[in-house]
Structure 1
Amino acid sequence: MHIHTTKIGEEPDLDPLIREYQGFRAEIVHLMDRTYTNDLFRNAYQTKLAYLITESAFDLIVNYGFEDLKPVYNKYSEMDIETAIQLQKDKFKITDPAFLLESENNAEVAEDAEFHQLPEEEQQKIKAEQREERIAAQIRAAKLHAEQQKTSRSVRAVYMDLVKSFHPDLETDDAEKVRKTDIMQQVTQAYQENNLLKLLKLQIELERIDQDKLENLTKNQLNYYNKMLKQQVEELEAEKEAVQKRIAAVCGLPYQHANSRTTVIVKFNTNVNELKTEIKNIKNVLKNWKVPSQLKAYLKTYQIPNEEFPEDDD
């Protein structure tokens, strides 16, 4: 399942559900930390606990801001958390262990019965590939979102031209200063709205170019306006693509399917319902694992990916 935090229209926000779910994950990390020295846990069991603690704590610290888990991570890891975070940044790769629920981060194969018949190593490989793809999608969406927040180059270009011509501080005549102050208020508002057409309209009006005289604009002026408008179209297309990609990332949809409002809403609501189910399941996990023998029963069948450990003597 894809768990993200962006809002879709007026649909329910995933943020509170995500915070609740990750909060339960953090509680489980603390629970495993407290029970690590229990007499029931020896050798392989403690190795598995240490792995689950560090993997989960790292994900919660890096991706969800659970700073209080840093000492817990350092307690069980050979590498301190700050070094691990730096290495993660260098590799541009985030690990999401998803160790509690088999259905978590596994939407693509959850309905495929053959998946559960695959060897454990192959299942882990498939899950890892899916996690990496989702992380890459999140990174792409974040970059596009950051780019969208920047004021378009074309708007800034026209804005700066108008500022040079009509800034009131450059005017000595009081009446003209008042007029230019009003003009700059309009210009600034259009600039803040990232509205190129409004800026161009102001530029034409303020330069006293009426409709009848538009035909007499110089070639350079026409080229200038055409260039600005073409650039604005390109930027709007990029903005549209960015929004569509963010929606696709939020809902776990292929990019080409994120242009249908009905499809997006149905998928988003499905994600909400699935997350509510996972919250219910993880609450049961937390309740059960408070009994050390039940946590041990889970650890007995759990295998660290790509590693094998002998059974602990009971």
Structure 2
Amino acid sequence: MSREWTKQDLRDQSGKIVIVTGGNSGIGYEASKALAGNYATVVLAVRNVNKGREALDKIKYEFPNANIHVMKLDLNDLESVKEFSREFRGKFSSLSLLINNAGIMAPTQRITKDGFESQFGVNYLGHFALTGLLIDLIIKTPDSRVISVGSLAAHNTKPEFKNFKGTKKKVSLLQSYAQSKLACMFFAKELQYRFRAKNIDAKSVACHPGIVQTYLFGKGSGKLNKRFTRASLKLIGQSAELGAYPLLYAATEHSIRGGEYIGPDGRKGIKGFPTELEILDELFDEHVSNNLWILSEKLTGVTYKF
């Protein structure tokens, strides 16, 4: 495995239909631009359509022939997830890459429209539902992949998937974020197990971007704290373009088998070039993962049909 894999190593993505949730900013935008620049058809699945169109215009300015679409997806609302799925099916008949990237980090405490703690709801349950609603398209598309984005924050976290429901009781927002990202990582591993059990050719891969200089950090916090956070990131973090490399590697590298966890190879995983990590194998618990899957189907009302 190369220690210096970059977006220059991307192969031609012609013929591939790609969904990138949160594709209008941060690593989602950088991944969308790289894939569109390599001839994939990219759908920016975004909560704010106007910002999505701005991102589309920026990509088209750099790659005038890029094939990009903007579609509304609000992961805060399961009905919006269902509507997105219906609209996508009306436009496309295959899905090569589903990149579950969008997320929120430690906002002020709130719940989703369906009553879930917001970070669990947006970061994990919304993506669980989206993948399940599109799973038949993923299965029938040759060499398809589902990419789930984890976080360094989850690496020192034990699974405690019991606070999905919103509550008036105050909880640690950073701990909830870590749990939501750990759930995404467990989901990626569990989905790969289920693909293999059914002899399905699709692959499920998890990744994390390291520490990235994006709007996600400090979002929802006070102005002074936000300024401090972003100033600190400039010293220790990496750009969104470099942060997108593990995601792009997971989505396109031909050596991927399915079930891997990809992240930066630098000290403490903060930054660097994409490489395969062992931490998810160490954290993973098959019994917990299976129970999480059953609970997720119950909470979202989305049952996977393999």
TM-score (ref. length: structure 2): 0.24
Greater helix fraction, Structure 1 or Structure 2: 1
Larger radius of gyration: 1
RCO (CA 8 Å, sep 6+): is it higher in 1 or 2?
1
TM-score (ref. length: structure 1): 0.23
